[in-house]
């Protein structure tokens, strides 16, 4: 994801960013999909790491878009399975 956004960083920094994201998702389990908290934490983390808060927000939005694509693919597969007769699966 960082490479796609044009952010050059080490694997260790990417691991720190991912660990922070996991921690935020764990801490905000009562917030549906950690909406807002995840974006804010990534913006703050990217700002602290010197990449800029805008890069953190872009990172979060690209990850949310990726999740949306997989959800749409999953729904499509379920719809195809529902309309396919049981003997043809």
For the chain, the domains span 11-88
Q: What is the distance between the alpha carbons of residues 55 and 51, in angstroms, rounded to a whole number? A: 6
Q: Which residue in 70, 49, 71, 72 sits closest to 59, CA to CA?
A: 49
Sequence-distant contacts of 18-21: CB under 8 A, at least 24 apart: 20/45
User: Which position has the higher pLDDT, 63 or 82?
Assistant: 63
CA distances from 84 to 14, 16, 88 (A): 42, 45, 7
| Mean of all residue pLDDT scores within the chain | 91
Alpha helices by DSSP H, the chain:
11-27, 37-48, 53-83
DSSP helix/strand/coil, 1? coil
**36-66 pLDDT, tens per residue?**
999 999 999 999 999 999 999 999 999 999 9
């Amino acid at each position: 994801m960082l490479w796609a956004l044009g952010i050059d960083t080490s694997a260790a920094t990417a691991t720190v960013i991912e660990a922070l994201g996991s921690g935020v998702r764990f801490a905000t389990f009562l917030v549906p999909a950690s909406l807002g908290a995840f974006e804010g934490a990534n913006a703050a983390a990217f700002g602290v790491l010197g990449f800029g808060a805008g890069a953190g927000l872009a990172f979060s939005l690209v990850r949310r878009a990726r999740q949306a694509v997989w959800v749409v693919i999953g729904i499509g597969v379920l719809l195809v399975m529902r309309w396919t007769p049981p003997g043809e699966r």
